Each structure stands twice: as C-alpha cells, then as structure tokens.
Structure 1
Amino acid sequence: MSHLELAGLSAYPESRVDYAGSTYFMTRGERMLGVIGESAGFEGTRHEASGALLCPLTPANAAALRRRLPWLNPVPLGLRTSAGFGDRLGLATPGHVLAVRGTGIAPVFAQQSVRENARTHRTPQQVLDDAMWGVFQAGWREPWGADADHLKTPADAEAFAAAGYTFYTIDPGDHVDNAADTDPAATLTAKVDTLPWDILDSSAKDLEERYLKVLLRLGRFNLYFDRPVLLRAAAKYG
C-alpha cells in the first residue's frame, strides 16, 4: 500500500510524478491535483494526513503545473505522422492516450474549432486545460500538439494563441468560388485574369508555364493539369 493510500488518498498511479524535488499526482473520484513538496503558485487545501496540497483543476493550477512539468505544454509536431482527437467533452484524453500509446503517432490531444467551442460552450483555454489534465492523469510524457481548427478570421486565432496552441488550421471556405465548378471557359479565364497577381508576385501566364503539361510526382501518385482543370482550380481557390 502506498503512502498516499495509507493517508486515505486514492490516486491514478500513472499520474504520479517525482520531479525536481516535488511529487505530483491526480486523485480519483473528485479529480484533484496533489502536490507534495514545493507548492508555491498552486491554490488548494492542505491534506493533513498526507501533507499534500490538494488543488482543484482550475486554469490557474493548470498553468502552474505546466510551468513545473514541461511535457504538459503542447509543442509543434513538425512533419511527424500525427492524429487529432478532438475531444468535445473534455473527459476523453486518458482514453486517447491509451489508444495512441505505442503506435508512434504524435497525438494532437487538444483540437477544436471556433464553431465547436460555441456549440459546447467551451473556450480554447478550457479545451487545452482539459486535454492537459488528461495527459497528466494518464502519464503521457511524449510530445503532443494543440490544434486551433477551422480558423476563418485573424480574430478567431487570438484566444487560441493566448492559450498556447501550437498548430493552426486555416479554413478559407468563405473565399472559395464554388461557381467555378460549372463556369464556362470564358468566365474562368476572366476570373483567373483578375486574381491579385501583383500580391502573388506572379501572373496567369506564369501559372500556365509552371503547371501545364508538367507531370507532378506525389509519392505513388502522378498529377497532370490540362488547361481547363488548371483554370478551374485557380478560379475556385484563388
């Protein structure tokens, strides 16, 4: 029986961390952060039998724990094979850890869009903190990411940036010209001619010279543009 159990506390065993002279763990039942040792910066109530400071899972305590345990901060994952989990409830990350552990896949445990947050009444900070508490509970020590999904405006990104997200998925859907799917050739040509080529530091002629009749090898796949397909793509996506 562990010291914590003898003191009447039941903790998730994977959550226990001995780091830089202090011990951290998460209690079962009413989940709380336990800190034994240096507890400055945490807000909680002292548990007399164990000597631990028991702290509610608040944003302030989440931030304090991230400062103590660096692997609880999301990081950029670069070109690693990754997968986003998109936990809408804020409770599923421990299960996601079990699913991804040992696969070699880099997890993006915090992944929500502005629309999803509006529907679930959560903030980017809550999503990240919920994922972090799950990472801590399940004992995940490897890199993980946080994706600000489906961003449509610069203002959308601000709260995610302030929370510490490391991946930003831009949704240009409002600027996609779906009419280009069926526009006649003359209309497509006119639309392509009026694209902001000065900003793109290019021209319609450069576009055709760069992509027409050029075989693009993409791993096992080959991509080839004829003029109608190229103009349709340029007009649709700008």
Structure 2
Amino acid sequence: MIEELISALKGKGFCLYPKSIRKTEGGATIFVAKRGCEKFICVIEGSNPIGLSPEAAPAVENIGFYKLSWENYLKLKEVLPIAPSPCNKKASFGTGDRLGLVTAAHLDVLSRYPVLPVVAQQSPRELMKEHRTFKSVLLDAVMGLLESGYTGAFGADA
C-alpha cells in the first residue's frame, strides 16, 4: 500500500511522510504529504467519513487533500489521539520549538524517553509579538505530531 501511495503522490508532485500513515477505527487512512512548501492532511475515507473541508488541492485518485484548519483539527481529534493531555509522567520536557518547525524530530527523539513532550509552547508575550494565537501554535505542533507518526501523550502550554 505504501509504495502505491508514494507512486501516486509523486506523480502529482507530492512527497509522502511514510511515518505519518494512520488508520482510524472507521477505516479511513490519514497521512501527511508535502508539495513544495505546503503540507496537507491527506485522507482516504473509510466507512465512516471524517468530513474534513474544504479540499485544498485536487484529489489524486481517492485521496483528499486538506489544510490543518482549526475546524479540521476538531474533526480529526475525534478519530485520532491528537489533543494535548495533562502530564501523566514523572517528568516533562518542553521542546522550545516556537513555530513547530522541528516538532516531528523532537517527538522522534523524546518518544525514546519516559517524559511527556510539551510541544505547543509559546508565551502570551511571544504570541502578541509574533501575531499568533494558541490555536495556530497548537496546529503547528499537531502537524509535526501527525508527520512523525507519534501516538503518545503530549502537552501544550501556549
């Protein structure tokens, strides 16, 4: 399946993040793909459609491409464990990745240790200075989480 996905996407200029492939209980396959500088949440619907919208790029075969908007995040967290959670470990580790650019790499490393990664971090002062919102910080962190294939708990303190 992965080879067919990679081939279909490559023919349309997309690069698949293989670690990102996940199946939902409803049978949907969800993964992250990139074209140029843009990342997309890609969905092959199962028996229970997730209902993301609007499509951000034309479909390739039966694959829908979506931006990770707040509305789409709310729908995705109903079928995937992508919501921040309280610290359930003796230790936590704040990554300090203010823009979510290396969240996937941080999660890859931190998944090897008994810590709760805190990946969505930005102070109120930084939010104002960067003209960002908590939602945008969380969405950037979640995209990295999806890209990495990480399935454990994570924290947010933006």
TM-score, scaled relative to structure 2: 0.83
Counterpart pick for 1:56 among 67, 76, 89: 67
Greater helix proportion: 1
Runs of 4+ in 1 over 6 A off after TM superposition: none
Listed as ranges, the matches of 1:143-162 within 5 Å are 143-148=153-158
Q: Could you say which structure has the larger radius of gyration?
A: 1
Greater strand proportion: 2
The superposition leaves residues 117-140 of structure 1 with CA deviations (integer Å, 9 ceiling, x where unpaired) of 112221011111111111111011
Name the counterpart of 1:8.
9
What root-mean-square deviation, in Å, do the aligned CA atoms of Structure 1 and Structure 2 show?
1.8
Higher relative contact order (CA 8 A, sep 6+): 2
Partner Cα separation in structure 2 for residue 46 and residue 52 of structure 1: 9
Pair 1:66 & 2:77 matched: yes
Task: Report which stretch shifted further, 97-106 or 124-133.
Answer: 97-106
TM-score, scaled relative to structure 1: 0.57
Partner Cα separation in structure 2 for residue 68 and residue 43 of structure 1: 18
Partner Cα separation in structure 1 for residue 89 and residue 107 of structure 2: 20
Name the counterpart of 2:42.
34
Q: Is the CA contact 1:46–1:53 (under 8 Å) kept in the aligned structure 2?
A: yes
Partner Cα separation in structure 2 for residue 57 and residue 33 of structure 1: 6
Gaps of 5+ in 2: none
Name the counterpart of 1:97.
107
Name the counterpart of 2:24.
19
Partner Cα separation in structure 1 for residue 43 and residue 135 of structure 2: 22
Q: Is the CA contact 2:91–2:115 (under 8 Å) kept in the aligned structure 1?
A: yes
Percent identity of equivalent pairs: 33
Q: Is the CA contact 1:87–1:109 (under 8 Å) kept in the aligned structure 2?
A: yes
